[in-house]
Amino acid sequence: MEAFNNREIAFAIWLFIFFTYAFLKKDIRDGFISIWRAFAKKLIIIPFFLLIIYVLISIWFLWQVGLWDLSQVKSTLLWFFGIATITFFRAHEIADDPSYFRNAITDNLKIIVLIEFLINFYTFNLFVELFFIPLIAFVVILHAFSATDKKYLPVQKILDNLLAVIGILITVYAVYRLIIDFQEFAQPQTALDFIVPIILSIALLPFIFMLHAYMSYEGVFNRLHFLIKDEFVRAYAKRSALINYKFNLSSLRRWADALCREQIDTIDDINRMHKEVARIEAEERNPPLVQFGVGWSPYKISTILEDKGLKVGHYKKIYGNEWSASSNYLDIGDPKMPNNIAYYLEGDKSAVKVITLKMNINNTEERDKAHKALCELASLLHIHALGVEINQRIKRSIMRSEDIEDYVKTKIVRVKITSWRNKKGYDVIFSISNP
C-alpha cells in the first residue's frame, strides 16, 4: 500500500484548511483551547500517556517476532488515533456491557476489514476525493442535526437512505477493483496491514480492563470521601475493598452502592456491609425457597423476562426494609420515538411482594404494536408467577387500555392506565402483588 492514498491526501488537505480557518477565528480558537484544557488534566493525561507506553511496548514485541517494521508506521498511527483512542475513551462502558470484550474484538475486526481494505485500499483520483470528502461530511452533519428533533424525521430517513447508498456504492467499487486487480491486493505487505491492527487491538484489551478497574476503584474511593467522615475508617474501607473484591468490579460497585444507603461510622459497619454483599451474592447463586403466600424469590422472578430483552439489575435495599430492582427499557417500534416497557420488583429483604410491567406510550401511532408486546410479556410473567395462564379479560384490558383488577390464587392482578398531563401519551401498568 502506498505511503498515502488519494483519500488520505484529500482528508489531510481539508483538515489543514479547517484548522487554518479555525485558528483564525478567535471564538473557535478559544473553544479548542477549552477542549485541550479539559483533556490535559491529570486524570486523563496520565492514563493516556500510559496507553502510549503500552502500545509502544506492544509494537516492540511485534517487531521482535518480525510482524512489525517501519512500513507499518502509517497503519499503526491510523489504528492508534482511530480504534485505540476511541476504545480508551469508551472504557467506562465495560460496566454496562457483559459482552464488551467479545464485541470489541468483532467490531474492531469489522472496522479494519471494511475501512482499511474494502474502502481505503481502492480510492478515486485526488480531485474526486477532494469533492467526495466534504460531501460526505456535509451529509453526516445534516444527519446528526436531523436527529435532534422529531419534526426532521422525514429528512433523517432520506439521509439514512442516502448514506446507505453511498456506502454500498463505495463498497461495490472497492470489490470491483479487488476482482479485476487482485494481484495488487494479494501482497505480503497487505497481509501485514491486515494482521497488525488486529493483533494490536487484541493486545490492547488487558490495558483497557486495567484502566476500567482503576476508574472503578477511583470512582468508589471518591464516593467514600462523602460517605465516611472518619479518615481512619475511610482508609480501612479502601484497603478492605481492594482485599475483598480485587478485580470483581461488579461486587465492588454493589458494595459501594450499599454504603450509600447506610450510616457508616465504624470499621464494624464496613465489615457488616462486606458480609451483606457476600450474603446477597450467595443467595443469587443458590436462591432460598420463598413460600407462595409470602411472595417470590427476587433471584428467580427477576430472570423470567431476560430472554425477551428485560434484564433486571441487582435487587437492593432502598430505604429501611424496602427493597427493589428494575430492568432496562425495552424499546418497541420506531427507534427515533419508541414506546418502551420496563420490569420492576418491589419487596423486602427476603421476598418480592409486587412485580410490575410498566409501558410508556410515547408514540401513539405505534401503540397497537406496543400493547401486543406488553400483552405477551404479561402472559409470560403471569404463568411463571402464578402457575396459570392469564385470563382473556386481563388481555383485553391491556389491549384496550382499560383498568381492571382481579384475584388469582390469592394474588391481585391489576391493569391501570394513567394519562399524561400533556395529553400526548399514557402509561399502562400491569402488576401482580400480594393482597
Asked if residue 1 has pLDDT above 50, the reply is: no
From first CA to last CA, the distance across the chain in angstroms is: 73
Question: Under DSSP, is residue 11 helix (H, G, I), strand (E, B) or coil?
Answer: helix
DSSP 238-266: HHHHHHHHTT-HHHHHHHHHHHTTS---S
H or E segment to which residue 331 belongs? strand 330-332
Do 399 and 420 meet the contact criterion of CB atoms below 8 Å apart? no
**Residues spanned by the domain of 414:** 298-433
Does 269 share its domain with 393?
no
In a domain, 24, yes or no: yes
Residue 360: predicted pLDDT: 94
Does 265 share its domain with 343?
no
Q: Name the amino acid, one letter, at 314.
A: H
Task: Decide which of 389 and 109 is more confident.
Answer: 389
Asked if residue 235 has pLDDT above 80, the reply is: yes
Residue 388: predicted pLDDT: 94
In a domain, 247, yes or no: yes
Does 420 share its domain with 326?
yes
In a domain, 56, yes or no: yes
Do 293 and 410 meet the contact criterion of CB atoms below 8 Å apart? yes
In a domain, 371, yes or no: yes
Does 265 share its domain with 305?
no
Residues with Cβ within 8 Å of 178's Cβ and at least 6 positions away in sequence, in order, are 118, 121, 122, 185
Of 303, 271, 272, residue with least CA distance to 287? 303
Query: Other CB atoms closer than 10 Å to residue 13's CB: what's the count?
Result: 14
Does 120 share its domain with 177?
yes
Q: For 408-427, what is each residue's pLDDT tens digit?
A: 999 999 999 999 988 889 99
Instruction: Count Cα atoms within 13 angstroms, Cβ side, for 300.
Output: 15
Does 36 share its domain with 11?
yes
Question: Under DSSP, is residue 349 helix (H, G, I), strand (E, B) or coil?
Answer: coil
Does 235 share its domain with 205?
no
Does 242 share its domain with 354?
no
Number of domains in the chain: 3
Q: For 69-128, what is each residue's pLDDT tens digit?
A: 887 787 788 788 877 888 888 777 765 566 666 666 666 665 555 555 545 555 667 787
In a domain, 90, yes or no: yes
How does strand 411-419 pair with strand 404-408? Answer: antiparallel
Task: Decide which of 399 and 23 is more confident.
Answer: 399
Q: What is the pTM of this model?
A: 0.69
Does 251 share its domain with 373?
no
Q: Measuring CA to CA, how many Å separate 334 from each of 337, 342, 361?
A: 6, 17, 12
Residue 384: predicted pLDDT: 94
Q: What rounded mean pLDDT belongs to the chain? A: 83
Q: Distance between CA 227 and CA 264 in Å, rounded? A: 7
In a domain, 248, yes or no: yes
Lowest mean pLDDT among 43-57, 154-168, 235-249, 282-296: 154-168
Residue 335: predicted pLDDT: 76
Residue 303: predicted pLDDT: 93
Task: Decide which of 143 and 251 is more confident.
Answer: 251
